[in-house]
Structures are given as C-alpha cells and as structure tokens.
Amino acid sequence: MKIALIGYGKMGKAIEKIAISRGHEITARVTSSQKVEAQDFSSTDVAIEFTAPHVVINNLEYLLEKNIPVIVGTTGWNNHLQRITELVAKKNGSLLHASNFSVGVNLFFEFNKQLAKLMNQHNDYHVSMKEIHHTEKLDSPSGTAITLAEGIIENHDAVEDWSCPQHPTKNEFEGGVEITAIREPNVHGTHTIEYHSPIDFIRITHEAKSREGFALGAVIAAEFIQGKQGVFTMNDVLKLSK
C-alpha cells in the first residue's frame, strides 16, 4: 500500500515507522510549510492526515476531490462533518475519521458508555472528566475527551451537555460533564472519568504510554479502508457498537 503522510511531525514520523514495518511504502510527506495542492499524489493509495484544525478542511476537500481515500486524525473540525460527508458521497469516495486511533482508547470508549448506563439510575453521583496532553496539543478539550463526553450524554439521562473552562466558547458550566483540560510537557494523553458522591468515588482512566498506539491504529485504519466507499470510524475497524 502506498501512503501519503499529510502532516510530518512527531505523529507522522511514528506512522511512517509502523507503516514501513508492515510492508507499506511512503510516497509523500507533507510538512506544515508545504501546501497539499503542490504535492504529487498520482501513486497514492491512501492519505493519512494529522495536521491542525485550521488546515484540515482544505486538506480533506482537496484529497477527496482527487478521489484519494483519507484517514483523518486531526480533531477540532467536527462542525464540518456533515459537509465533508456530503462531499464523500458526491465523489463516491472514502474517509475514516477518529478522535483517537488507539485500539485501547476505542475499547475505553465502550467501557465509558457501559459505566454511564450503570450510573444512569444513581443520581447521587456527579460526573466529571480530566484530560492531560502535551503542551503542543492545539485544541482544548481533546477530541478524545469530547467523544467520551458524548458517550456519557448518550447513555445518561441526567447529562445533557459538556463544558470546559479551557474551551474558547463552551466554558460556561450549567450541568452535565465538566471537562478540565491540562497541558504538560511530554504527556501522550491521559483521560480520567470520575463519578463522585458524598460517600465515594468511581474512576476509570486510560493513559497512553507513547504515540505508537495511535500510529498503529491509523495504519490499521488505512489497511481497512482499501476498496471501500463511504464514511467510517474506528467502530467499523474494530467491529464495535455504533
């Protein structure tokens, strides 16, 4: 499989290492100083996009117009998901997006949903979340934290929304899941969900040890999307519940 890396920072380099170890070829490496439109994708089977929220939509639109399947790990663009989904349908293309490609995190998403279902009947418990990432992380809260919050909202009747003091617009807390976003050096990603009552705490935590788990998941997703059309997530890759 011939892979174009859109974004060649620490994550792009980790993806490159794992892709080559699995027998794939890297045919393009697009850095932050280059425009995706200037690249030659004539031999590309799939593009893996890990860039930044302010460029991701332009990159996705260009790649889909060129009929290149895209794996996108950039977060902070979900308000454009409907428009991108319509473009995928129009071009008979394929796109797989995830807030987190780690297999362990996607299993953690499922644990989170099941715990929310169990806690739905116990109104003495208040739910909150803390996420910690490296200082280069551009969005707050993380896309993973938002996905976790959405999983709680879908499965707990008393939780209607999320808020985050560090988010530029959703920083007012009026009930729901309050997410605290912390940025520290050399942290690959830690997410903790806590239910606390006057008498006890229940906590579940996922802590990433390195970038390799995210990179491996992105390559597995690229292998999965070959020959497929439509919009997919890691639920499809791992055969998890929708």
SS3 199: coil
Active-site choice (24, 97, 113, 133): 133
The question of whether 167 is a catalytic residue gets the answer no
The question of whether 137 is a catalytic residue gets the answer yes
Angle between helix 10-21 and 212-225 (nearest 10): 60
Token pair of 235 as six digits: 């639920």
Residues in CB range of 10: below 8 A, 6 or more apart: 211
3-state helix, strand, coil split of the chain in percent (to 5) is: 40, 25, 40
For residue 74, report the phi and psi dihedrals to the nearest 5 degrees.
-65, 140
Active-site choice (113, 137, 156, 191): 137
For 78-124, give the DSSP string.
GGGHHHHHHHHHHHT-EEEE-S---HHHHHHHHHHHHHHHHHTT-TT
Q: What are the Cα distances from residue 88, in Å, to 30, 46, 50, 231?
A: 22, 14, 19, 7
Between CA 43 and CA 236 the distance in angstroms is: 26
Active site residues: 133, 137
